[in-house]
Amino acid sequence: MLPRSRISPSLPSIAYQAVADDDDDKDADQSNNPGTLQDESISSEASDVDAEDLGVALTERDNTRILRKIDKVILSLLVWVYFLQILDKTILGYSAILGLPQDTHLTGNQYSIVGSVAPIAQLIWQPVSSLLIVKVPHRTLMPCLVFGWGLTQTLTPTCRSFPGLVLNRFLLGLFEAGCLPLFSLLTSQWYRRREQPLRVAAWYGTNGLATILAALLAFLLAPLPPPWPWQSLFLLTGVFTLLTVPLIRLRLPNDISSAPFLTPTERLQALERVRANQTGVGGNTKFQPSQAWEALNERKTYLFLALAFANNLGAQVTNTFGPLILGGIGAFPPRTTTLLNIPFGATQYAVIVAVAVLATRILYKSAALVAVMVPVLVGLAVLYIVPHDGRHTGGLVVGYYLLAFIFGGNALIVAWILANTGGQTKKAVVMGLYNAASAGGNVVGPLVFGDGTDGYKSGLRVTLGVFVAMVLVVGGSMEGGVGEGGLGGRGGLEDVTDGENDAFVYVY
């Protein structure tokens, strides 16, 4: 499915082997230490590129120091803000067992529709989000998005009917539409390829932490008189989100070149760090139609979209219907059901981190993704086959917990996309399309489960079939070469796509 790995004809093959074997971490050392490759011509070439392009040396000590600074500022912001966004999404499922459907007079499949409205809004708004991510400086865009969804979340308790909830969730989806593409773009701009899976896992792993906190909050608020339990849940998370807005504005730089937490020399070194990615370093606010067109004409784009749709159909099942499914597989009161999701959240977090570590050790990302999907298939099969009669509660709970591996798949797909996409506009478009496909899965997920009169069997059957197809598609894509990184050069700094850059190497 992915293009064959390419090497620029002007680069000696020994240079490619050194980078592919040890990734881009050795790129800087090669440019400053002639003995690294045991080849004077290559060392001289790397040094010439360094002096001509940036005129800065980068040692391993420099790299470690700068990486620590970037983690402290950029990664900490991404982790906290993404945690808040997932928390805002997750609590809808808990509000269902705290009385929201009854207090807002929902009937039939109206709760399923409410759960699908935010993804529908993301799907509709995604082209605009992709444009905004390129055109609007990140230091301005992110605080605006966070303020919008925080205010919408805070106002949720004022909803008293189905139309009010639909409008509220639609606005929430509009503001959250740009979150994942923006976070992915920031990760690709600030980090080397081999560093990206763990950083994606760091912020995407907050899915599990948000599940844990949401479950604890729901447990603590459940004894309050109606309708305060679910209303307090939305109010608390909304206020937390709004208080974060000034912090983002103060701490987040637009790009590496304007980062106030780095010295002028460290900014040049930070640029040198990520040059070997060959995917650009951001800072360009011009939307380039040619890059968007390239993204739309590549087969790998649609492979990633299919994976995103399938995986997030399953993810939405756990977000929206997880507490309800748990409540239906045993004689659990609503308050106990919330606590059963705490181990699920812990499993989510552990799986995402473990998958990220696996992704840094296995060059074939497709093989890693298939391995992650196997436990999901087992979990869905258990939930579908085992009777929900109260006598098999233990096995059903274990089956449900296996669905946590779905979130490891999402983190791996995002890291896979980032490693294979170059160009500011192209990355924004591809990640926007990824988010649109994810939203499509999130729309379909709740709808296939209906009103639960059949014990959610029909929804589980559809989801199981989707994941079987997903494994077959990914398995069929495991072809071609493998490589990570490339020799520096101006292509690593300029806003060019992977298709335009002969030094780009694809990851399968």
CB 286 within 8 A of CB 423: no
Picking from 357, 315, 69, 79, the residue whose alpha carbon sits closest to that of residue 202 is 79
Full residue range of the structural domain in which residue 177 is found? 60-276+290-482
What lies within 8 Å, CB to CB, of 266 at 6+ separation is 62, 65, 66, 69
* Within-domain flag for 16: no
The CATH number linked to 468 is: 1.20.1250.20
Backbone angles phi, psi at 358, to 5 degrees: -60, -40
Q: Please give the sequence-ordered ranges of beta strands (E in DSSP) within 316-454, or none if there are none.
A: none
* Within-domain flag for 502: no
Angle at 142 between CA 171 and CA 212, to 5 degrees: 75
* Within-domain flag for 444: yes
CB 270 within 8 A of CB 259: yes
What are the b/e assignments for 191-212, b being 16+ CB within 10 Å?
bbbbbbbbbbbbbbbbbbbbbb
pLDDT in tens, the chain (508 residues): 554 444 333 222 223 233 333 344 444 343 333 333 223 232 323 333 343 455 678 889 999 999 999 999 999 999 999 999 989 888 888 888 888 999 999 988 888 889 889 888 988 888 898 889 888 999 999 999 999 999 999 999 999 999 999 999 999 999 988 888 899 889 988 998 888 889 999 999 998 899 899 989 999 998 899 899 999 999 999 999 999 999 999 999 998 989 999 999 999 999 888 887 665 555 556 788 888 899 899 888 998 999 999 998 887 667 655 666 666 655 567 677 778 788 888 998 999 998 888 877 776 778 888 888 999 999 989 888 888 776 777 788 888 889 889 988 888 888 888 888 888 788 888 988 988 898 888 788 777 776 666 667 788 888 899 999 988 888 776 554 444 444 344 445 567 777 777 777 777 7
* Within-domain flag for 99: yes
pTM given for the model: 0.76
Picking from 367, 350, 383, 366, the residue whose alpha carbon sits closest to that of residue 455 is 383
* Within-domain flag for 109: yes
Alpha carbons within 13 A on the beta-carbon side of 9: 0
Backbone angles phi, psi at 173, to 5 degrees: -65, -35
* Within-domain flag for 1: no
Picking from 26, 94, 95, 104, the residue whose alpha carbon sits closest to that of residue 63 is 26
* Within-domain flag for 32: no
Three-class SS of 447-463: HHHCCCCCCCHHHHHHH
* Within-domain flag for 10: no
What are the b/e assignments for 149-172, b being 16+ CB within 10 Å?
bbbbbbbbbebeebeebbebbbbb
What lies within 8 Å, CB to CB, of 252 at 6+ separation is 74, 77, 138, 139, 142, 143
The total number of structural domains in the chain stands at 1
Burial of 264 (0-12, 13-18, 19+ CB in 10 A): exposed
**Neighbour tally for 141: CB within 10 Å:** 20
